[in-house]
Amino acid sequence: MGTMSSLMAWLRPASGSDRDRIAEIIGRLAAEHDAPIFEPHVTMVGRFASDEDTAIGTLKSLLVGVSSFDITFTEFGHERTYFRSLYLRAEPSPQLTALYKAGRRAWTLDLPPYMPHLSLLYSNLTEEQKSPIFPTIDLRLPLTIQIDAVELWADDHLGVGRWRLVRRMPLCSKVLYTGVFLFIISLAATAGRDDQAKSKRPVIALIRRTLDFRSFSGCGGVGVR
């Protein structure tokens, strides 16, 4: 077993204009309030202790067969807590709850009920200081974004600026999965009535094996650094 680290598992929005807009808001608020900058994310599981290699293996196993999915943010929220100073509240969904519960079980964590959110500002501002900030946030809600990866991050006692990405694990695309599945059906139907059925059967078997997410390169628990 390697050196123990304090780790976090994040759900990461897909690249695009919505993620760019959220990142811009995080950066602006950080500059205006002397706060740290961080990547847009929804926490799947907060801090837990593990060596990195073991955590990577565990997270890979949790993500087998998990496809990309949507999250809808319905309202702004704020609390007297540094990491929830100002955030977007996410609408609960079966996917979010399932991933949270799986992570909690995997790392035997005693955690409070899940409140999925995407932080916009880490700070110790008072509630009175936060009130004027809301009108300055140019973001129309509800907002739906796609989650297409899970990332494992290492905490650092020196602060947010020293957080480190350990591993990124893309989620499988529903569009890609559906397309391959329909291709298999088409081939199978053709093979059933075609004189070249014998030559097509190995191809069908190969494509079927690719649908086993455990061997599907680049998604479903196969991580990239």
Q: What is the pLDDT of residues 78-134, one digit of tens each?
A: 999 999 999 999 999 999 999 999 999 999 999 889 999 999 999 999 999 999 999
Shared domain for 66 and 129, answered yes or no, is: yes
Give the pTM.
0.80
Would residue 34 count as lying in a domain?
A: yes
Would residue 16 count as lying in a domain?
A: yes
Instruction: State the pLDDT confidence band at 219, using cuts at 50, 70 and 90.
Output: low
Residue 136 has pLDDT above 90, yes or no: yes
Would residue 220 count as lying in a domain?
A: no
Torsion of CA 163, 38, 62, 49, to 10 degrees: 30
What values do phi and psi take at 121, rounded to 5?
Answer: -155, 130
pLDDT for the residue 185:
52
Rounded CA separation 114/106 (Å) = 16
Rounded CA separation 85/119 (Å) = 8
Average pLDDT over residues 21-44: 98
Would residue 105 count as lying in a domain?
A: yes
Shared domain for 94 and 182, answered yes or no, is: no
Domain interval for residue 181? 175-215
Shared domain for 139 and 207, answered yes or no, is: no
What values do phi and psi take at 149, rounded to 5?
Answer: -160, 155
Shared domain for 89 and 117, answered yes or no, is: yes
Q: What is the count of structural domains for the chain?
A: 2
Shared domain for 48 and 100, answered yes or no, is: yes
Would residue 83 count as lying in a domain?
A: yes
Residue 191 has pLDDT above 70, yes or no: no
Shared domain for 15 and 86, answered yes or no, is: yes
Shared domain for 57 and 139, answered yes or no, is: yes
Would residue 40 count as lying in a domain?
A: yes
Instruction: State the pLDDT confidence band at 182, using cuts at 50, 70 and 90.
Output: low
Shared domain for 167 and 181, answered yes or no, is: no
pLDDT for the residue 138:
93
Average pLDDT over residues 28-40: 98
